A = this chain, B = another copy of it.
Amino acid sequence: MRVSINTITPDTPSAEVIGWAHEIRDLGGLAFLLIRDRTGILQVTIPKKKVAPEIAETIRAISRESVVRVRGIIKPEGKAPGGRELIPDLIEIVSLSASPLPLDVAEKVPAELDTRLDNRFLDARRPRVSAIFKIRNAVQHATRNFFFDNGFIEINTSKIVAAATEGGTELFPIAYFEKEAFLNQSPQLYKQMMMAAGFEKVYEIGPIFRAEEHNTTKHLNEATSIDIEVSFTDHIGVMQILEDLVRDIYQFVDKTCSDAIADMDLDTFAVPEKGFPRLPYAEAIEIAASKCEEDITYGDDIGTAAEKAIGEEMGRMYFIVDWPSSIRPYYAMPYENDPEICKAFDMMHPRMELSSGAQRVHQYDLLVDQIAKKGLNPENFEFYLNPFRFGMPPHAGWGLGAERMVTTMLGLPNVREAVLFPRDRHRVVP
């Protein structure tokens, strides 16, 4: 009966494992096979004169990254990974690998990101890469448990839609039978409709699609968005939920992913402290203007250079609040006493923006007015606007980028590393 490699200790009497031939060293009378499964690496030691001749023969036939089954007795061995080795009485090739490999799984030869993504099935065999996806698994599990425990209802909204969320042009068109349709940029309008339906607290984790042409280390054309919407609360309420969630995720990863964190040599991992500072946009812009070479003034979007400058100044996760209404979407609620600014926020990691949210406009007339002010035609938003006429409660929400969360948590240089099969302008395969 096969066991996972990480369950084998120096005291285990015997074991059978199935895994990949990570490394093979044949020193003549003595051969070593490192066998790898998703939990770890085991040294198989073959003293050729002491094992059956067919074992020595099989060892010669194994190519690197073949799938092999090995059975034998375990002995303590201080120099081997995990302090133990296996002396085989059976070795069987389950699935022979071709040679040469398009990518060196044992990581002796570094590979470019493009080569790695082209050969993701090999790249993800590397412990430091599979660790990213084990941690991503934990991040999403912690997220859903947080929502379930707090009474949120998971929704699954359609990705094929007839209208753009923000009326923008950054949409992928689909040929949908006889109709024109698009891939959804955000579940924004749908989660708001669920507030009209009285669901009160909803969340969705799903793909979003943006036909943006830029090619950076923080943008994806298909990404995973963690979205919430909550009724009878405001931006302050959902900022607190966001901070609590982010800390909860880090704590869960800290508690459950120590092996993966070790595989990544991640000495920078730390649970963020409570009380993310709330920096007004006006002050953020001042910091950026004083630290950046480019000309930055009130009313500008916060670009990459500004984001970096402010992040360095803040040195931790923080919120930017009180944004000018002119640079936020129509659905952001203006302050009653100063409608030039609105109840929107961004949640920032020092490296980049992670989340964007706001209290939403729930008043039909104000919403129509704000749509028109943005130069959009309210008639195109009929399916969205209709619910606001029949008892829409006050509500607020945000969207959090799952890949950016993982990228910043693990200090990955490129957001593509947090996605198994990333999509960018030039990449739709594999």
Contacts of A67 in B (CB 8 A): 391-393
A297 on interface, CB distance cutoff 8 Å: no
Other A-B pairs beyond A122-B196, A160-B172, A174-B183, 9, CB < 8 Å? A18-B393, A120-B193, A158-B422, A159-B209, A160-B183, A162-B429, A172-B175, A173-B174, A190-B420
In the complex, A111 Cα to B65 Cα: how many Å? 61
A153 on interface, CB distance cutoff 8 Å: yes
A95 on interface, CB distance cutoff 8 Å: yes
B390 in contact with A176 (CB, 8 Å):
no
In the complex, A161 Cα to B422 Cα: how many Å? 11
Contacts of A156 in B (CB 8 A): 207, 224, 402, 419-420
Stretch at the interface among A80-88, A129-137, A285-293, A299-307: A129-137
A222 on interface, CB distance cutoff 8 Å: yes
B428 in contact with A179 (CB, 8 Å):
yes
Contacts of A387 in B (CB 8 A): 121-122
A98 in contact with B207 (CB, 8 Å):
no
* A106-131 interface with B by 8 A CB criterion: 119-125, 130
In the complex, A95 Cα to B155 Cα: how many Å? 24
In the complex, A156 Cα to B25 Cα: how many Å? 37
In the complex, A172 Cα to B36 Cα: how many Å? 40
Contacts of A94 in B (CB 8 A): 393-394
Of residues A124, A163, A362, A384, which shows the largest number of chain B Cβ atoms within 10 Å of its Cβ? A124
B197 in contact with A122 (CB, 8 Å):
yes
0 or 1 for each of A215-252: is its CB under 8 Å from B? (1 = yes)? 00000011010000000100000000000000000000
0 or 1 for each of A165-177: is its CB under 8 Å from B? (1 = yes)? 0000000111111
Min CB distance, A17 to chain B, in Å?
A: 10
In the complex, A174 Cα to B159 Cα: how many Å? 13
Stretch at the interface among A140-148, A276-284, A333-341, A370-378: A140-148
Contacts of A20 in B (CB 8 A): 198, 391
Contacts of A97 in B (CB 8 A): 389-391
B38 in contact with A199 (CB, 8 Å):
yes
- The A interface is mostly helix, strand or loop, or mixed, namely mixed
Min CB distance, A87 to chain B, in Å?
A: 23
Min CB distance, A360 to chain B, in Å?
A: 12
0 or 1 for each of A384-408: is its CB under 8 Å from B? (1 = yes)? 1011011111100000001000000
Min CB distance, A118 to chain B, in Å?
A: 9
Min CB distance, A219 to chain B, in Å?
A: 14
By beta carbon, the residue of chain B nearest A403 is B156
By beta carbon, the residue of chain B nearest A389 is B98
By beta carbon, the residue of chain B nearest A119 is B386
15 contacts between A and B (CB under 8 A): A18-B393, A21-B391, A67-B391, A94-B393, A96-B391, A97-B390, A120-B197, A122-B390, A133-B199, A136-B154, A144-B144, A158-B423, A172-B175, A176-B428, A384-B430
Of residues A38, A158, A162, which shows the largest number of chain B Cβ atoms within 10 Å of its Cβ? A158
Min CB distance, A13 to chain B, in Å?
A: 22
B362 in contact with A95 (CB, 8 Å):
yes
* A47-99 interface with B by 8 A CB criterion: 65-67, 94-98
B423 in contact with A207 (CB, 8 Å):
no
A37 on interface, CB distance cutoff 8 Å: yes
A414 on interface, CB distance cutoff 8 Å: no
A264 on interface, CB distance cutoff 8 Å: no
